[in-house]
Amino acid sequence: MTTTKMIIQQPQAFAMATTSNQWSSGICDCTKDMKSCCLAFWCFPCFACITAKEAGECLCLPLLDWFGAIPPATMSLRASLRHRYGIEGTLCNDCLYSVFCLPCTWCQMSREMKTRVQPITLINTRPH
């Protein structure tokens, strides 16, 4: 007769939260979210409008970028997200990324919102 000893250990309740004063991904990390990356590649205006809407802005806001040398909507939304999430940075960097890395900037903003929206998870396995 074989006897086995089972040890049962209940985990304690804990909370997980992610907060940082840095972007959760780099400007060139577009492939970390392939679905967004592909949409941005194949239909960038649609992707930018969807991302603006998810940020709580007007759906048509990105269309303003077509009327200037510096994309005002991209730059202002990037600065707004930095402020909302407490991310360090400067308007100068926001301007540079908006002018020279437009699709990558929108992909980064989309990834950041998805990362920061994840709720805090409370786990408690004790019976009530």
Whether the per-residue pLDDT at 89 is higher than 90: the answer is yes
Counting the structural domains of the chain, the total is 1
Residue 18 located in a structural domain: no
Residue 95 located in a structural domain: yes
Residue 12 located in a structural domain: no
Nearest to 72 by CA among 63, 85, 82, 84: 63
The model's pTM: 0.76
Query: Does 66 or 118 have the greater pLDDT score?
Result: 66
- Our CA dihedral for 104, 105, 107, 112, rounded to 10 degrees, sits at 140
Whether the per-residue pLDDT at 119 is higher than 50: the answer is yes
Whether the per-residue pLDDT at 77 is higher than 80: the answer is yes
Residues 82-107 as b/e (b if ≥16 CB within 10 A, e otherwise) read: beebebebeeeebbebbeebbebbbb
Lowest mean pLDDT among 7-11, 101-105, 111-115: 7-11
Residue 59 located in a structural domain: yes
Domain that holds residue 91: 30-120
Gap between the Cα atoms of 69 and 74, Å rounded: 12
Q: Determine the pLDDT at residue 16.
A: 45
